[in-house]
Amino acid sequence: MEFDKKSLLKLGKLARISISDDKLNNLSKDLNSILEFVDQLKEIKTDQVDPTSNSLNQKLEVRDDKVDTKNSAEDILENAPEKEMDFFVVPKVIE
Amino acid sequence: MKDSYTLKSLAVLLENNKISSKELTSEYLKNIENGKELNCYNTISQEKALIDAEKSDERRKSQNLRSKYDGIPIGIKDLFCTKGVTTTASSKILSNFVPNYESTVTQNCDDAGLISLGKLNCDEFAMGSTNKTSFFGSVKNPWKSVNSDYELVPGGSSGGSAAAVSGDLCVASLGTDTGGSIRQPASFTGTVGLKPSYGRVSRWGIVAFASSLDQAGPITKTVEDAAILLDIISGHDEKDSTSSVNPKENYYENLNSDIKGMKIGIPKEFRSDKLPASTQKSWDECANLLKTNGAEIVDISLPHTMSALPAYYIIAPAEASSNLARYDGVRYGLRVKGNDLIDMYEKTRSEGFGDEVKRRILIGTYVLSSGYYDAYYIKAQKIRSLIKSDYVEAFKKVDAILTPSTPSTAFEIANEPSDPVQNYLNDIFTVPVNLAGLPGISIPYANDENNLPIGLQLITNSFEEQKLLNVAKNIEETINYSETPEKWWLK
Amino acid sequence: MIEGWNLVIGIEIHAQVNSKSKLFSSSPTDFGSKPNSQVSLIDAAMPGMLPVINKFCIEQAVKSGIGLNAKINKKSIFDRKNYFYQDLPQGYQISQYKDPIVGEGFVEIETENGQKKIGVERLHLEQDAGKSLHDQDPNFTFVDLNRSGIALMEIVSKPDMSSPEEAVEYVRKVRSILRYLGTCDGNMEQGSIRADVNVSVNKPGNELGTRCEIKNLNSFKFIHAAIVYEAKRQIKLIEQGESVNQETRLFNTQSGETRSMRSKEDAHDYRYFPDPDLLPLTLDDDWIKGLQESIPELPDKIKERFIKEYSLSSYDANIIVSDKATSEYFEDVVKNRNPKLVTTWVTGELFSILNKKNLIIEDSPITSKQLGELVDNIENGKISNRQAKEVLEEMCESGKGALEIIDEKGLSQISDENEIESLVDNVLNSNPENVKKYKNGKDKLFGFFVGEAMKLSKGKANPKIVNDLIKKKLSQ
């Protein structure tokens, strides 16, 4: 598959990154080059191979059901760009 | 005197009251000030470092030391969250972010009494191998070619961490390595860079790039220092589900350079016509040296080596695209106003991320998206299995593997390849190690014809850091590499 | 439901795990706390934060799976479901996609046509999102992350239901099972159980219709109403020659209508992939076995037992076992007492008081011990049924015991025949005219004599004895 402008814009929507017109050309060139590079994997036979998503060979560690959180709303909202009455604030969302 | 500073030597000086932590810290702060041109630090913790140093001196007086290394100042990659100290990941999107928590690794350093001089520049979100993708600009390599006055890249992504150690802007530093981000800059700056086994060091509180590959580690002047710092930062952390429950060892205490009877593998797939002659020569020489010192050199094969880089450039961006979704302008970091929520997201992320980060997010989004997941993401995870089993097979035959760290020595900052894939090739020797979750170390071996450091990489099986450090120590002792860059920035 | 049409319904239930702390963080899960007051760094997705799974939640999911007669998967995977939303801090929800912790199972429900098996496709663990408030400000949405990261069990049914009643019955049954297991408190008002309902319609013999998903229904009433509305809407479309679009719809609780939220074309591309922060979850056989052994008796079993042990009707048994607390209450009362009487008093009088006061049985003002005492006094004839109702109401108001009230009010029933006989004589002697009329055929006056006698006894006389005596005397 090749990245054309349309598919690139769609991808940008999915990743929530706006792409300006003047960047489209270069970006699609770059992404196509990366895709071409990774496409060499298609040559390798992997039918009988299981995928590895994490190389650590260990059981998933668990924790006990204990409450142990010392954050106040103030702590959590400390870095918020916009807040009001202990809420994070975003532009109006219509559901 | 200065050039012989190591964690080990400073511990002795402090112990013998030859120098106080405050004097030492002031000296490094002065070096940082004088070395501003290198652009190593994003944040300099001038005041806090001096206060912490005074506290350390108090502890020393009252014989209440946290460790032998109490009072030694180090530098910290700006990817570790540090309480009350701006943590940016060298990105515009986090340029105003001040965490109210401390990463496990930096907390471990604090618990040992180490002092943070500040936050070291790196590639944005650790994505890059030149340090050029930083929002705060390139770091300059302390080294320059004898044949030109061009500024060179320090490598990346832990470029600031490596350059700072090399240029004496700190005695040791913390970096992170996802595909070579500790070893490659260490190689470019004549320093020692250690990437531990995946799971050896906690990832808690480190800004994530690719969760299944990221690992923190030390950049130091010596193998001994690498062992010392690994002792301090490593261990199981119950806050990180991917932290190994394997008990850690006393790496420094057990350091033993005797390699008699060990088998060292030389993988044929790492050989290349494109490798500079001087690098090839160092590699060959080093193998001979190990043989002389009692090891057996074994030719081995890691058949899927060439597939590692393309697999990495699927896996790492895929994970990154998801890990970086949290930078949305809602709870912290940059927010760019928009007409509605989606507009705000898109503007914030478009302005907040640099080009390389955007490329990787987009590629990562693509390889996970419906219709391409199996062809790319699953395929890459399968390749990863193949690479891992290559190493499993190899370590049935050998104790350690010796390779070059990088396909070249440091290159010019101004030299910008038009194709991003050209940059990716810098990591060709380091990436397989991350995919297999193994420990790897880059140590300086010699300088090339331009007087630029050449690094060699050693790899061992998972959680065999001790063996890795032992072999590295053997090489270090034998060659006694003592080149240092000329401090042109002081002139 | 609608003549000539089949309804096909599948349901996804989101049940909040009854845990103290969240699925991947140690912050509390209390309902109704101050905004953003129970949010950890992990829940707010601060940089560098990592999830660590809550063991208790794993246990509850497996227990629930056992209760749903389902296969427990010894290896399951946590995946990231990626999408952007203001109340989803990570930009992804940690969920389980291809390899859930629990596989196929089933529950049995009562329908008009008897028992019906409803298939369960799977149960998996996932994080809840935060809460958005859209009505606080005309220009902004406010976000509260208290709920962010709370553990949910998503239980996905097969499309096995064919009427709104069956759908409601299914959700009721699952809720009941979870409450018996103690894995979810089942509190629908607080959103502990929410349902997404998939509805399609087709003509018998035709292939399945296009389905629509109605999101986030949090009461049985709404589930029923939404399905009815949606089925009618789809049928109307088809009858008008239009087609149903596959889409996600929202139910308006005010108007009782559903409206489109997003179409299939706008459906998210969630880009699921295994969460690299979490290793695969593996369960030991022994551990699963241990949990299996700890499972309490579940409603189907209890119902069977009640019918056998107490000779309850299937109908009564169903009502009682549908709720764990009710069946426990019932069993407390019924011990050594007349099951029929106890059933009447629990499902009749007690329920009506609870309904009136809008209380659940756990908060009943009358304990099972107290109700038992009341039933005892009915059984031994000390008070009449009517008096007992009065006593129950008083018990409810004052919190006093039955006996205490009976004594205080002097309510205890007169069953002494001699005493009643003198009352009856008194009534008959003071109404000679009426006695005459009765004897001449005015049968209706019988009630009058009984009434007078009861009045005279201040309602305490045993009505049966009064009846018998009057009949006897008048026929002399």
Residue C88 CB neighbour total at 10 angstroms = 24
- The residue extents of the domains of chain A are 5-43
List CB contacts (< 8 A) between C41 and chain B.
Answer: 101
Q: DSSP E strands: which ranges in B301-393? A: none
Two tokens at B429?
């020797």
Q: Residue-wise over B213-243: b if at least 16 C-beta within 10 A, else e?
A: bbbbbbbbbbbbbbbbbbbbbbbebebbbbb
pLDDT at residue B435 tops 90: yes
Residue B1 confidence (pLDDT): 36
Q: What is the DSSP letter of B71?
A: T
Q: Any idea what the CATH number is for the domain that residue B97 is in?
A: 3.90.1300.10
* For residues C68-74, average pLDDT: 98
Cα–Cα dist B124/A38, whole Å: 22
Q: What is the pLDDT of residues B367-402, one digit of tens each?
A: 999 999 999 999 999 999 999 999 999 999 999 999
With H, G, I as helix, E, B as strand and everything else as coil, classify residue C73: coil
Place of tokens 């005041």: B47
pLDDT at residue C317 tops 50: yes
Residue C461 confidence (pLDDT): 82
Q: What is the extent of the structural domain holding B208?
A: 2-258+468-490
| Cα dihedral B320, B322, B325, B327 in deg (nearest 10) | -40
Cα–Cα dist C133/A93, whole Å: 9
Confidence (pTM): 0.91
Q: Which of B212, B330, B369 sits opposite A54 (nearest CB)?
A: B212
Cα–Cα dist C250/C259, whole Å: 5
With H, G, I as helix, E, B as strand and everything else as coil, classify residue C415: coil
Residue C1 confidence (pLDDT): 61
Residue count (chain C): 476
Percentage of the residues of chain C whose pLDDT score is greater than 70: 100
Residue B48 confidence (pLDDT): 98
Q: DSSP E strands: which ranges in C6-144? A: 6-16, 53-54, 75-76, 79-82, 92-95, 105-111, 114-127, 131-133, 140-144
Residue C125 confidence (pLDDT): 98
Q: Is residue B173 part of a domain?
A: yes
pLDDT at residue C87 tops 50: yes
List CB contacts (< 8 A) between B345 and chain C.
Answer: 84
Beta carbons of A51 and B384 less than 8 Å apart? yes
List CB contacts (< 8 A) between A76 and chain C.
Answer: 36, 39, 41, 44, 145
Which of C33, C136, C140 is best to mutate for the A interface (most A CBs within 10 A)? C140
Q: What is the pLDDT of residues C277-295, one digit of tens each?
A: 999 999 999 999 999 999 9
Mean pLDDT, chain B, integer = 96
Q: Is residue B484 part of a domain?
A: yes
* For residues C80-106, average pLDDT: 97
Q: Which of A50, A45, C78 lies closest to B388 in space, CA to CA? A: A50
Cα-based distances in Å from B444 to B192, B406, C318:
7, 11, 78
Q: What is the pLDDT of residues C227-264, one digit of tens each?
A: 999 999 999 999 999 999 999 999 999 999 999 988 77
Q: Which of B240, B321, B330 sits opposite C50 (nearest CB)?
A: B240
Residue C267 confidence (pLDDT): 74
Q: Which of C45, C48, C276 sits opposite B319 (nearest CB)?
A: C276
Place of tokens 């002139």: B491
Active site residues of B: 77, 157, 181
Q: What is the pLDDT of residues C373-388, one digit of tens each?
A: 888 888 877 787 888 8
C-alpha triplet C210, C216, C218: angle, nearest 5°: 125
Q: How high is the ipTM of this complex?
A: 0.96
Cα–Cα dist B74/B67, whole Å: 15
Q: How many CA atoms lie within 13 A of C17 on its CB side?
A: 32
Q: Is residue B113 part of a domain?
A: yes
Cα–Cα dist B483/A44, whole Å: 43
- The residue extents of the domains of chain C are 6-288, 297-408, 417-474
* For residues B311-319, average pLDDT: 98
Which of B239, B382, B438 is best to mutate for the A interface (most A CBs within 10 A)? B382
Q: Which strands make up the sheet holding C79-82, listed edge to edge? A: C92-95, C79-82, C273-274
In Å, how far is C46's CA from the nearest CA of chain B? 8
B217 in the Ramachandran plot: left (φ > 0), alpha (ψ -120 to 50) or beta? beta
Peptide bond into C311 cis (omega under 30): no
Beta carbons of A1 and B372 less than 8 Å apart? yes
Place of tokens 């507009």: B343
Domain count, chain B: 1
Beta carbons of A16 and B97 less than 8 Å apart? no
**SS3 string of B379-433?**
HHHHHHHHHHHHHHHHHHHCCEEEEECCCCCCCECCCCCCCHHHHHHHHCCCHHH
Mean pLDDT, chain C, integer = 92
Residue B147 confidence (pLDDT): 84
Domain C417-474 - what CATH class? mainly alpha
Q: What is the DSSP letter of A15?
A: T
